[in-house]
Structure 1
Amino acid sequence: MPPFISSSCLSFMICLWIYSCLYMHSISSQYLDDQKSLLLELKNNLKYNSEALDKLEGWNHSTNYCQWSGVECDNSNNGKVLGLDLSNKNIIGGIDNTSSLFRLQFLQSLNLGGENKIQDEIPSAIGKLSSLTYLNLSTAPYSDTNFRGQVPIEISNLVKLVVLDISFSFRTYMNRPNLADIVRNLTNIRELYLDRVNISAIGSQWCQTLASSLPHLQVLSMSECHLEGEIHNSLSRLHRLSVIRLGINSLVGPVPEFLTRLTNLTMLSLSSNDLTGIVPHKIFQVPTLRTLDISGNSNLEGTLPVFYINGSLEELTISGTKFSGVLPSSISNLKSLRTIFLVDCQFNGSLPSSIGSLNLLQRLVLTANQFSGSIPSSIGSLNLLEDLELNDNQFSGHIPSFSSLKKLKTLNLHNNSLVGSITGKNWEKLLNLESLSLSFNSLDGNISSSLFSLPSLEFLALENNKFSGQLNESANPVFSKLTEVYLSSNNLEGPIPKSIFHLRQLEWLDLSSNSFNGTLKLAEILLSLKNLTSLNLSFNRLSVVIDVDVNSSFPLLQELQLASCNLHNIPDFLKNQVSINTLDLSKNHIAGLVPRWVWGIHNLNLSSNHLVELEPPLATTLSNNSLFTYLDLHSNKLQGTFSIASPKLEYLDCSNNNFTSISKTLCNATNLHFMNLEYNHLSWTIPDCLFAKTTLSVLNLRGNNLGGSVPAEFGKNCTLQTLNLNENHLQGSIPRSLGYCKALKVLDLGNNRLNDTFPCHLKSLSSLQVLVLRSNKLHGAILPITLLVI
């Protein structure tokens, strides 16, 4: 014992130490209880939607709150809550300025994002959490918004923030206070996510704001923020930028070359803006760049450069631009490339065989370009490829084997010039294939039944080719996942395999325009295909038997097309099909009445039958509540007054019937674009209201007995492109108001009794291509007009 410390003094010091420990323990226990009570109060005030499963049930008095889900404490024993993760809890409310959340004063990380839908403004009390370094108030992309309203100025008090994420809250905005006001003090920010927050600023404003306030910024994500103007060069001062996402804005001007000098740049997304000019080759050659997306800039031009060896690019997206040129063979130098997305551009030439050396490639999408030549067989060695889309190009030659692509899910070669057979391609090895489209080519030979047995296949499109022969029965159709099958416009023949009608998941089936034969019972098809919504058997050599009980339970059809199927009656069970919107029974042998229930169908084609009248009481005037937009009744024997009218009607063809007059009720069809009543027995005069319509593009009344004069009331907003009144008994003059029809291309007034001089007033119609005036009573001099005169 040191001589200067007495025993009594030592005893006092020991007592003081013991007292201090007991006091601190008491304070610590009280503090621990306080943290727990704040969390429990927060839990009790939260509100959830009906989909919420985890309502923080593990938060209770009997357990250690530092072990609760979403709660992070420090590593000492004082129990400070440093982190709180309440993301994806389906919370819809219960967090306002009075919330106990904002009394957790040591909180450093707060996550309220994801699948929460808190329909309130961000509480201003958020500014009390002065220790926050991470704040996430985001919404799951393109789901219902989380927070809404003005971003509060109090966020500027969070000067320790390193990450701020308010992204995808599309009803959130920065107006007053604006972006500059909010980030002015947030100098420690490294990552800033404001996607879909309405900022509404021009480039010189937001760029300079970020450059002056956030010197350490590494991640800048401000897509769909209503940004305008050019990308200002002040952004170049942010030397640490690694990620730049500025898509879906209204940015203009060129892609700045200063971006190539950002030595840490790994992602650059400028998609869906109004950028123009030629993209510098150096953009593609930034050594650190992994993701480049400049798609959706329709006036952006450029070509692909020579790619350097061991380039770091993983995703290359150039779609919806004016990029042209070839895909260089040096693409093989990008050994890390996983995605090539070149859609709707002007690329041409053949694909380099070197593309087969991109061993990590997962998506190769070259849709809607001008690529030509054969498809390189080397693509068949891309073992990780999941998505191969070469559709809408000019590829020719045979389809190579893709049987080694075990992970392939989508194969789309639609609309090319491919030839040859598809048999012997070992399709059965593509066990993960979900979608196969080979339509609109010149492929021939048989269709392998193995395609219908692929275990993962859902979509099969082989229409508009030259496939021939019979379809064989496929194995185990009940286990198939096929939902859509399109085989139309080929040369297939023989009976339709019964296995087709046992594809239980089938929703869309189109076998039209082939040479299938035999007799089919519609009831059997519908009873087997319970999920069917669209069936097209038109234009084969089939006889479809309508043996359906009206009261039977069938799938809810949306489309039924049975043109040229030797039908003798309209399937009566359809009147109970409330969802049907397309019905095509043309070119059959249906006679008698058109039943009134068909007027609830949007697209109706009963042409080329033997129908004679409309079922009463709708024979005179159909209800204005009729839903149809497309109506084709041509080449029947319908008679009486033509008075079909619906406000929604857009296309009408009732030519080659026996109608005798036109009712003015037809003018109630306020959306009518196409109207053909040629070769009926229409007499009297043409209703003036037809020519006053501002929607009509084609009007054909040829070959009737119409008299009187051509109505003179062509409106100033006339939209007619074709007007055919040939072979009638029209008299009088050619109306001067035709000059209002600036879009008119074909005007046929021949074989009437018009008495007028040559219509020089039509010379103002710059779009006019065909003018027919023969066999009238025109007189005087013929003056030149630059068009074809028949």
Structure 2
Amino acid sequence: MEFWNVYLQQPSLPTRIFGCLGKPSVPSLSVVDNQQKGWRVHHQKPPPPLKHGFLGDGEVDIQLPLCHEGESSALLQFKHSFFINEHASRDRFAYPKVESWKLQGNTSDCCSWDGVECDHNTGHVIGLDLSSSFLYGSIDANSSLLSLVHLRRLNLADNHFNYSRIPSGVRCLSRLTSLNLSRSSLIGSIPSEISDLSLLISLDLSKNFDQRNPLQIPSLTNLVQNLTNLKELYLSGVYIPTTIPDILANTSSLTAIDLANCGLYGEFPRSIFQLPNLKILRARFNQNLTGSLPEFQSSSSRLERNDFSGNLPSSLGNLTQLTVLELRVNKFSGQIPFSLANLSQLTTLALGRNYFDEGMRAFPFGKLPKLTTLHFSSMNLQGDKETMQIVKIGNNFLTGFDQNPVALPWRSLQYLDISSNIFQGSVPVPPPTTVVYKVSHNLLTGEFPPSICQESSLRALDLSDNNLSGTIPQCLALASDDLLMLNLSHNSLHGSIPPTIFMKNSKLMMIDLSQNQLQGPVPRSLANCRSLEILVLGNNQIEDTFPSWLGTLPKLRVLVLRSNKFYGAIENPVSNLMFPKLRIIDLSHNGFSGHLPPEYFKNWNAMKIVSGEKLTYMGTSSQLQFQLPAGPTTRAAFVGTEALRVNYSITVANKGTQRLYEKIQSAFVAIDLSDNKFSGEIPESLGNLSGLQVLNISHNNLTGVISTSLANLRDLESLDLSRNLLSGEIPWQLSQLTFLAVLNVSFNQLTGPIPRGNQFDTFENSSFDGNPGLCGVPLSKLCGVSETSPPSPNSQGHDLELPSGIYRMVIFMGYGSGLIVGLVIGHILTTRYHEWFVETFGRGKKAQNRR
């Protein structure tokens, strides 16, 4: 069934009585049979009574009340106030629970509806669980939900309530003991009336993220002062710009406190650590929150990314039931206490990016039998060989392991990140269970390890930015069928790319083999990579004609072949469906000849209108599942999932410098055909690519005039036509390109006055050098009487509608001998958004100037 925007008709709302919606009416008992009397018959065997059963020997009939008519009506009204939208819920097991809500046949009793729980004695609705139900719409102040005054448990998590506010009428649900509105796109101030729900045991308002108007609490004290029965308080992502009140420390019933990403500041009350029943404490990502650790009782503590300082108390080792300890990105110092080795139940330990002494280089992690996730730095790793699954120690100054060559000892390892360190020697050999393997930006040497060919589980392999030598082994074709990312760039690999390395049905989405010494042709087996989105082969010695057959790849968006030995003319495509998704192509610094390919320009539809697209980055995401392996006397135990988020990166030239861009905007469109031997005129069909932001056709042998069709490139930000044989005047229409930040037409044979107005008034002399026939501002040469300045766009009688209201991010522009990179790097980072367990694949250091 199609669940996309299915609209459900809304009946009338019940009347409002005394500020809350009226109570549901009591069903009539004056009708004939049991069903009509408002009772439902269940055949059950006492004791104890079963909810469902079959009539048989020793069984008796008992009657349970039907759902009250007024309550079933309120539920239906609530259902009909929403769309069903498959994008409204993120949980992979989400489904539309309200689809079963119908007043007909066997489903007329609302107590049998999915997500509805009724009291067996009274028939009143006491529980409603519509979490992950694809609900999309707003909760307003008159919501029929507020008439369900007998509710004790309400769970609406993981839906999309369209940035509406929590109604103050929530106070009408005074019997609530559990309220979960997490991950539901709610905004604004949390109503103070929630504090009237004095029976609450669990309150979850977490992860309602909106940067413009986040869910917020003006006073945490006012919220919790009446909630004396509260055991669980989850407020992560709620904006609470205040200090943590001492009243929390007086709520002795609390077992879980989650205040992550809340904008809290000041001293963290030490007394909270002493709460007698506290099991979970999370206060991470509050950068202005300070404090130190005393003895405390919680079995799960997440305090990362704060401003905590001081030493770790040795009494931490007394918390033998502690399962999670995350204290990374703080200012803790001193020695890491060896007593942590007593934490036999610990599954996650994250202490990285603090100021601990170097004396902890041989911590006995082998004594932590359940440890599955380790985030650390500056130590020798001796984790348990059976259970260690995640090791992330990137961005430190580690130099190596105890033994070399290294066969990593963790038999269950799935995620290894040692990138951006100073590891030396050969590549560590991961176990066959490894899914993500990142060793980039180190000083590793030697040949490509053939043992990696045995990694049958790999999805992401990044060996970039090392000094690996030798050839790419043919056996890499035997690696995981699930491999998504392959990055071997910035090494010293040589020889040809094996011709049959890319197998049929390959799932590869990104291949980067740039900045090596690879030779030979482009392997035809790449045509098997039907999911390929990015192919980067630049800065090698590949010798071939233009691989037009790559145009059959239906998802290819980025093609970089720069700085190789490609040659010959680019022939017309065999069909108008070639390269249907292409948005970035860099063929610069090769030996291509002949005319620029006009037929390709006509058919590259993905380079046409892209303005207004949502800001996204090229990449992919997946879920990794983790479980403890089976032992001699135990079965495998499921631990959980962790998001694998991978953003594609690309190294391109900006102002003559090789630079790594860690993210590529999906809407970015660029063509670089510079430094080749192209001849002839600029094709009119270039003007069809109206989404083009960067165009570089400099350093060729182009002749004729500058095509006025380039004025159709309304999003153009950088245009380089320099060092050709172009003649005639600069078209005045180019002055209407209001986003044009960089223009270079130097060293041609242009004549006449330079256009005026808009961006042309910002360009310097260097943009026009080497054209003796040009005159006018900014050049010192004045135009003669016969050389009148071109009329301004406003005087032409043309009513050109320019883009308006387009949100333009900061542009880092440049021009030079390579691709003019106008990548929009306006990535707004916030510590109040997602927990990034997996950092960007291909993350690099600063700009590399490798060649």
**TM-score when scaled to structure 1?**
0.72
CA pair 278-650 structure 1, distance change in 2 beyond 3 A: farther
Q: Tell me which of 150, 153, 159 is aligned to 1:115.
A: 159
Whole-Å separation in 2 of the counterparts to 1:188 and 1:515: 71
Say if 1:314 and 1:257 are closer, same or farther in 2 by CA, change over 3 A. same
How far 1:418 moved relative to its partner? 1.0
2:427 counterpart residue number: 399
**3-state SS of the aligned residue for 1:665?**
coil
Q: Does structure 1 residue 133 correspond to structure 2 residue 177?
A: yes
**Secondary structure of 1:309's aligned partner:** helix
Structure 2: distance between partners of 1:82 and 1:408: 47
Distance 1:378 1:189, change over 3 A: farther
Classify 1:366/1:154 alpha carbon distance in 2 versus 1 (closer, same or farther; 3 Å). same
| Amino acid of the structure 2 residue aligned with 1:130 | S
Matched, 1:268 2:307: no
Distance in 2, matches of 1:689 and 1:208, equals 72
- CA apart distance, 1:558: 0.9
Match of 1:219 in 2: 256
Distance 2:216 2:573 in 1: 63
Give secondary structure in 1 for the equivalent of 2:469. strand
How many angstroms apart in 1 are the aligned matches of 2:401 and 2:64? 74
User: Helix, strand or coil for the counterpart of 2:702?
Assistant: strand
Q: Does structure 1 residue 197 correspond to structure 2 residue 225?
A: no
- 1:407-465 Cα deviation digits (max 9, x unpaired): 2111111111111112431x332221011111111111111233244301111111121
Tell me what 1:235 maps to: 272
CA 1:674/1:388 → structure 2, altered by over 3 Å: closer, same or farther? farther
Give the residue type in structure 1 aligned to 2:159: E
1:364 partnered with 2:391: yes
Q: Is the 8 A contact 2:314 2:339 kept in 1?
A: no
Aligned twin of 2:551: 526
Decide whether the 8 Å contact of 1:88 with 1:116 is kept in 2.
Answer: no
CA distance in 2, matches of 1:130, 1:173: 22
Distance (whole Å) between structure 1 residues aligned to residue 446 and residue 406 of structure 2 = 19
Distance verdict in 2 for CA 1:375–1:595, change over 3 Å: farther
Aligned position for 2:415: 387
C-alpha deviations, 1:686-724, integer Å up to 9, x for none? Answer: 63999xxxxxxxxxxxxxxxxxxxxxxxxxxxxxxx9xx
What one-letter code is carried by the residue in structure 1 that aligns with 2:681?
L
1:643-689 per-residue CA deviation (whole Å, 9 max, x = no partner) reads: 76544334444454445677263872578799555555477676399
Indicate which of 677, 681, 696 corresponds to 1:593: 681
**8 Å contact 2:591–2:677 — kept in the other structure?**
no
Cross-structure match for 1:463: 489
> Given that residues 596 and 615 in structure 1 are in contact (C-alpha distance below 8 angstroms), is that contact kept between their aligned partners in structure 2?
no
Secondary structure of 1:530's match?
Answer: coil
- 1:334–1:358 CA contact under 8 A, matched in 2: no
Equivalent pair of 2:594/2:679 in contact (CA under 8 Å): yes
Aligned match of 1:208:
246
Residue in structure 1 matching 2:350, options 317, 327, 339: 317
Structure-1 residue corresponding to 2:363: 330
Is the Cα–Cα contact under 8 Å of residues 65 and 121 in structure 2 kept in the other structure?
A: no
Say if 2:217 and 2:238, in contact at 8 Å, map to a contact too.
no
Name the SS for the 1:382 alignment partner.
coil
Identify which of 520, 541, 559 aligns with 1:535: 559
Alignment of 1:632-671 (within 5 A): 632-639=720-727, 646-659=737-750, 663=754, 665=756, 668-669=759-760
Question: Greater Rg, structure 1 or structure 2?
Answer: 1
Partner residue of 1:158 out of 172, 192, 197: 197
Shift of 1:87: 1.6
Deviation at 1:326, TM superposition (A): 7.0
Letter in 1 for 2:292: P
Aligned residues: 637
In 2: Cα distance, 1:185 partner to 1:129 partner = 15
Q: CA deviation at 1:394?
A: 1.0
Going from structure 1 to structure 2, the CA distance change for 1:670 and 1:510 (only over 3 Å counts) comes to farther
Shift of 1:127: 2.4
Q: For residue 499 of structure 1, give the secondary structure of its aligned residue in structure 2.
A: helix
Shift of 1:557: 0.8
What is the RMSD computed on CA atoms of the aligned residues? 3.8
- In structure 2, the residue matched to 1:559 is 584
Corresponding residue to 2:114 among 69, 76, 84: 69
The alpha-carbon distance between structure 1 residues 150 and 374, as it changes in their structure 2 partners (threshold 3 A), is closer
User: Hey, what's the Cα distance between the residues in 2 that align with 1:520 and 1:26?
Assistant: 81
Kept after mapping to 1: 8 A contact 2:705/2:728: no
Is the CA contact 1:43–1:56 (under 8 Å) kept in the aligned structure 2?
no
Q: Partners of 2:540 and 2:525 in 1: how far apart? A: 18
Q: CA deviation at 1:188?
A: 0.7
Which residue, out of 267, 286, 293, partners 1:257?
A: 293
Alpha-carbon offset, residue 103 of structure 1? 4.6
Partner of residue 702 from structure 2, selected from 604, 611, 619: 611
Matched, 1:568 2:609: no
| Candidates 705, 711, 715, aligned match of 1:627 | 715
- Aligned residues of 1:122 and 1:152 also touching (Cα < 8 A): yes
Q: Within 2, Cα distance between the matches of 1:616 and 1:651?
A: 18
Deviation at 1:314, TM superposition (A): 2.3
Offset at 1:626? 4.0
Supply the distance in 1 between the matched residues of 2:713 and 2:700 (Cα, whole angstroms). Answer: 26
Match of 1:444 among 469, 477, 493: 469
Percent identical: 27
State the one-letter code of the partner of 2:380: P
Structure-2 change in CA distance of 1:208 and 1:589 (3 Å) = same
Distance apart, 1:115 and its partner CA: 1.9
Task: Write the distance in 1 (CA, Å) between the matches of 2:527 and 2:562.
Answer: 16
CA–CA distance in 2 between the matches of 1:98 and 1:681? 75
Q: In structure 1, which of residues 57, 73, 77 is the aligned counterpart of residue 100 of structure 2?
A: 57
Give the whole-Å Cα distance in 2 for the aligned partners of 1:246 and 1:688: 60
User: Residues 510 and 172 of structure 1: is their aligned pair in 2 closer, same or farther, counting only changes over 3 Å?
Assistant: closer
Structure with greater helix percent: 1
Residue 367 of structure 1 deviates from its aligned partner by 1.5
The 10-residue stretch of structure 1 (95-104 or 505-514) with the greater mean CA deviation from structure 2: 95-104
Gaps of 5+ in 2: 1-32, 41-62, 87-95, 608-668, 782-813, 815-851
From 440, 445, 455, the counterpart of 1:419: 445
Deviations along 1:1-59, one digit per CA (max 9) or x if unpaired, are: xxxxxxxxxxxxxxxxxxxxx99x98978993453541343124422224264324255
Q: Is the 8 A contact 1:602 1:629 kept in 2?
A: yes
SS at match of 1:469: strand
Seen in structure 2, the aligned counterparts of structure 1 residues 550 and 597 have a Cα distance that, compared at 3 Å, is farther
TM-score (norm 2): 0.67
